[in-house]
Each structure stands twice: as structure tokens, then as C-alpha cells.
Structure 1
Amino acid sequence: MIRSMYSGVSGMRGFQTKLDVIGNNIANVNTAGYKAGRVMFKDIMSQTISGVTPPGDNQGGINAKQIGLGVEIAAIDTIHTGGSAMTTNRPLDLRIDGDGFFPVRLSEDQEVPFLTRAGDFHLDADRNLVTSDGMFVMSSDGANIQLGEDVTSFTISETGEIIAKINDGTTSATGTFIGVVKVPNPEGLEKMGGNLYRSTPNSSPDGEVTITNANNGEVGTGAIISGQLEMSNVDLTAEFTEMIVAQRGFQANSRIITTSDEVLQEVVNLKR
């Protein structure tokens, strides 16, 4: 009876965490570049009442008798599937058609850049390419991207190269490529908030990242599509279905606790 009560408590805690993750997914259904989370469960160590008996000459084998002690969180995964494309026709709205990330940093002193899939970039007063939070977007050679004063307009190719139109009316390739990073294990990245990820030793060796250019077939970074944004990959139908499952699971585990309490009450009432 006590075991069943604690098993119910562990189940309620697990489904509460699942509801927390589902709520965060639904809240970010319209966040550019957001990747949905998923909760996975695993059972807690079982209590063995009797061990295994191997088969003999005169008797067959007997299986062990074990009672499970509840459930715990096995993992909270980040699902890095591609989100749908939203066409904006804005030159500085960029989408990576592949598995790469945009590298951004707070200052030139930052050695390991942050990573993001949200490509809603802007130009500041110094004509630096920055994120909505003012972080510098890095080029393929690891430098900040700054447009010259003579550039009146520009386009961005699939390789991430900036094609500038000069004030004299000519158009030329600048040789500056927007950087892209390919991470061996994207699920190992740490979420930082603000659509940012931080590299960890489980996402890449020693947490280091290598910046390259887009549409790199050898690395598999994917092409850069200008005029589009990658939207959240949250599937509302799946999230609402999982919400129902979590709600019913929470209710069922609460019923285990109340039933165990009623049985314990009957035991207490035996002595009157």
C-alpha cells in the first residue's frame, strides 16, 4: 500500500513535468526557429521479492517476482526537425534549408559563439548585421559582418554571400559569406533563451564549433534562403493529444493515492 502511494506520487510528478513541456511548446507555437521539446519516462528500480530459480533435472525454472517503485524522467529531448517556411520577401529574413545554425556573439571577445535558427536579422546604426537582441551575426571567417557606406541595397545568395549594389549603380559580390555551423549532435545543445543555443561537450567534441559557409555539400550545412523565416516545428494537434494523455495520466495516478489512502484507513479501523 505504501509502495503504491509513492508510485502514484512519482507518476503525478512525471506528468506534471510533461504538462510543463507541453505548455512551453504551445506558448512558442509562433516563435521563429523554435524546436519542440518531448518528455520520455523510465521506470524506477524494482523491488525483488524472490529471485530467479534456474531450471533443474526435476523442476523447471521460476521467474523472479518484482514490484516496480514508480516512474521518473528519462530525458527531455529537443526535436530538431525542420519547421515550416514563412515567406516575408524581406532580404534580411533568412532560413537555413538544412541542419545548420547561424553563429552569433555578444562581442568579438566571445570565443565560442551562440547558435540560432531564427534568421530575423537587422542592420544597426553602424551597418552591422545583428539579431533582434543586438548580437553580431558572424561571417564564415569568424568576423562580424558590416556593410560599406557605399552599399545602397543587397541580396543574399544560397551560399550566404552578400551581393551588394553600390551607389554608382553597379552590382558586385562582396566576398563576405554569412557563417553557418553544423553540430554533430544538435540534441546536446543547451537552450539559452532568446532563440539561442550554447554548445556543450555532448553536442560537439570539447564544445567547439566550426564556422563554414552555407550550401557546403561536404559538411551538410544546407542552403540559405533569403526572404523566408523558419517557423516553430510545434504540431498543435500532437501537443493537444499529448496534453489529454498527460491529464488522464495525472488523474489516474491521483486515484492510486486516494485508493491507497482508503485501504490504509481500513487497516487503521481494524483496531477500535
Structure 2
Amino acid sequence: MLRSMYSGIAGMRGFQTQLDVVGNNIANVNTTGYKKARTTFQDMMSQTTSGASEPTNVRGGINAIQVGLGSQMGSIDNIHTQGNRQTTNRVLDLALEGDGMFIFASNVDAPEDSATLNTAIDITDVNLEYSRAGNMYLDQNGYIVNANGQYLVGDNPAGGNAGIIRIPENAASFSIQGNGTVNYIDGEGQTQVAGQILLAKFSNPGGLEKIGGNMYRSSVNDGMVSNDVEGYPDLIVPESDGTAAIVSGALEMSNVDLAQEFTDMITAQRGFQANTRIITTSDEILQELVNLKR
């Protein structure tokens, strides 16, 4: 069989994957905190017909003669550039301006006692996930959670421990500062601190694994940055160590560029069509060879 036919099949498979990625990007153009994906390609191993030879006294050197065997998927990269900010004027809508991610914990034994504002957690015993989506809510016990019901991880004002943040029932109002400090007005009109939101920072955010629901999971290649939070070196205070500031009353939208995605979709479609033409042409050549016997 002709090598060109298998090269065409490899090309079609790659462009189909690219169309899958482009389609997912377009589907998430309005998804809060979504980071677009990008496909790259690599050539496959080439078949060497003859190797290179060095120059001699009577003739010059000769380059190797190789025939390529098609293309393959090189990588699918997650591009963690800053998305556009959309103002909502809702206190619990939080956008990150800069590097970093919110930290969310699940499987937390959160007390329902209204007198307990902050619950210290051992982050080695809970499931931690990360996200740029900052649409937060208060559950029935006053804890700050995300749309999936996972607890937002912060700093316990008692000191030294990570914890989950709770707004008391008698709070007249509350606010969130750029450094993550959550303040509330108590029943006597005094300003109190409910806790401080902490962030995670990664030197290679593209190494995080998408797990759906706007969430990411840590991997061995994410390059989590450590700092000096006592007992929890992976947690960073906002606006410190080059970490993002928190903007209350806004959301970070998707960083998908529709113009770029439509352009990529067109080029992928044409590339797919060109590879089908290679297969058609190879089939016609094979048909001519079969007809030689007639």
C-alpha cells in the first residue's frame, strides 16, 4: 500500500482532534474562568531511504534521503492568560487580577455551630481543587462555597492554620478586600475579621489537569509555588509574592478569542479536506495498478 494513504489518515486524525479542541473552546466562550486549549502537531518518524555521507577527496557530501510518514498530535496546551473582567457589583463575585487560583476543599467536616466562625482544616486530609471561577455563595450555615458546594479555603484569624471561612448570622454586611481579608459588621456595628482568602500559585499552570466544573486538579508537573504561611507552604496571601489581587464585585470571563477560534476552525477544516484528497488520489493510483492486469 502507498505510504501517502497512511500519511493522509494520520493528518485527518490530527485535524479532527484540533476541531474537537476548537469546538470545546467555542462552547466555553462564556464560561466563567475558562482557559482555552491549543493544539500543536509534530511530524512522525521518517523512513530513511539512504543515509548521509561525508565529503571525500573526489566528491562532496550527500544528504540523507528520507520520506515522512505523516503527522501526529504534539500537545494540547492550556493557555492561562488573563480573561476579561465583567463587573457584577455582587460582593461574592470575585475576580483574580494576576497569577493564582482559588483553593476549594471538599470532604470537610464543617461544624454547624453558629458560634464557630472559622474551622481549621488539615489540607492533607481533604480534597483540594483549584479554579479561577470566582462566583461564590453562602450555604445555609454561612460558609463561603462555590457553585459545586466546595468550601473556599482561607486563613484562620486565630492564626497559623488554614481553614474555611464563615459569615455569622448576625452580620449586617460584609466585604472582601484586595488582599483577601473578609470583614463583616457585627450586631454592635463593629468591624470584625471573618478570615482571609488564600490562593495557590503555579509556575506551570498548564500542568494542571482539568476535571470539569471549572475546576483543576494538581499534578506532578504544575510547579506549585511555596511561601511562608505557617504549616501550609502551598498557600499564598493575595497581593504578595507576585500573586493576584482579589477584585470583589466582578468575575473573570473566558479567555477564548472567537476570531482566533473561527480562523483555526477554517484551517483545520481545509487541512482535513486536503488529507482526504491525498487518500482519494492514492486510491486512484492503486486502481490504475490493478487495471494494469486487464
What is the match of residue 150 of structure 1? 170
What is the match of residue 4 of structure 2? 4
What is the match of residue 15 of structure 1? 15
1:165 pairs, out of 185, 195, 200, with: 185
Whether the 8 Å CA contact 2:107–2:127 is kept in 1: the answer is no
Change (3 A) 1:2 1:112: same
| 2:201 is equivalent to residue 182 of structure 1 | yes
Q: Could you tell me which runs of 5 or more consecutive residues in structure 1 were left unpaired when the two chains were aligned.
A: none
Deviation, 1:204, is 2.7
Deviation, 1:107, is 2.0
| 2:132 is equivalent to residue 117 of structure 1 | yes
1:3-41 Cα shifts (integer Å, max 9, x gaps): 000000000000000000000000000000000000000
Whether the 8 Å CA contact 2:33–2:254 is kept in 1: the answer is yes
- Secondary structure in 2 aligned to 1:113? strand
What is the match of residue 200 of structure 1? 219
With structure 2 as the length reference, what TM-score do the two structures score? 0.88
> What is the alpha-carbon distance in structure 2 between the residues aligned to residue 61 and residue 55 of structure 1?
4
> What is the alpha-carbon distance in structure 2 between the residues aligned to residue 104 and residue 51 of structure 1?
56
2:261 pairs, out of 220, 236, 239, with: 239
- Secondary structure in 1 aligned to 2:49? strand
Deviation, 1:112, is 5.0
With structure 1 as the length reference, what TM-score do the two structures score? 0.95
Deviation, 1:127, is 0.2
What is the match of residue 56 of structure 2? 56
> What is the alpha-carbon distance in structure 2 between the residues aligned to residue 173 and residue 146 of structure 1?
10
What is the match of residue 133 of structure 1? 148
> What is the alpha-carbon distance in structure 1 between the residues aligned to residue 73 and residue 275 of structure 2?
15
1:142-162 Cα shifts (integer Å, max 9, x gaps): 211112223121110000001
> What is the alpha-carbon distance in structure 2 between the residues aligned to residue 45 and residue 18 of structure 1?
21
What is the match of residue 69 of structure 2? 69
Whether the 8 Å CA contact 1:157–1:224 is kept in 2: the answer is yes
| 2:270 is equivalent to residue 248 of structure 1 | yes
What is the match of residue 211 of structure 1? 235
What is the match of residue 117 of structure 2? none
1:211-230 equivalences in 2 (<5 Å): 211-216=235-240, 219-230=241-252
Q: Could you tell me which runs of 5 or more consecutive residues in structure 2 were left unpaired when the two chains were aligned.
A: 110-124, 156-160, 225-231
What letter is aligned with 2:94? L
> What is the alpha-carbon distance in structure 1 between the residues aligned to residue 186 and residue 4 of structure 2?
74
> What is the alpha-carbon distance in structure 2 between the residues aligned to residue 172 and residue 179 of structure 1?
18
Deviation, 1:209, is 7.4
1:32-75 Cα shifts (integer Å, max 9, x gaps): 00000000000000000010010111110000000000000010
What is the match of residue 30 of structure 1? 30
What is the match of residue 83 of structure 1? 83
Whether the 8 Å CA contact 1:107–1:136 is kept in 2: the answer is no
How well do the aligned residues superpose, as a CA RMSD in angstroms? 1.7
- Secondary structure in 1 aligned to 2:53? coil
- Secondary structure in 2 aligned to 1:158? coil
1:83-102 Cα shifts (integer Å, max 9, x gaps): 00000000000011011000
Say how many residue pairs are matched.
Answer: 269
> What is the alpha-carbon distance in structure 2 between the residues aligned to residue 234 and residue 177 of structure 1?
31
What is the match of residue 269 of structure 1? 291
1:217-264 Cα shifts (integer Å, max 9, x gaps): xx2211000001000000000000000000000000000000000000
| 2:279 is equivalent to residue 260 of structure 1 | no
What letter is aligned with 1:201? V
Identity, in percent, stands at 52
Whether the 8 Å CA contact 1:118–1:230 is kept in 2: the answer is yes
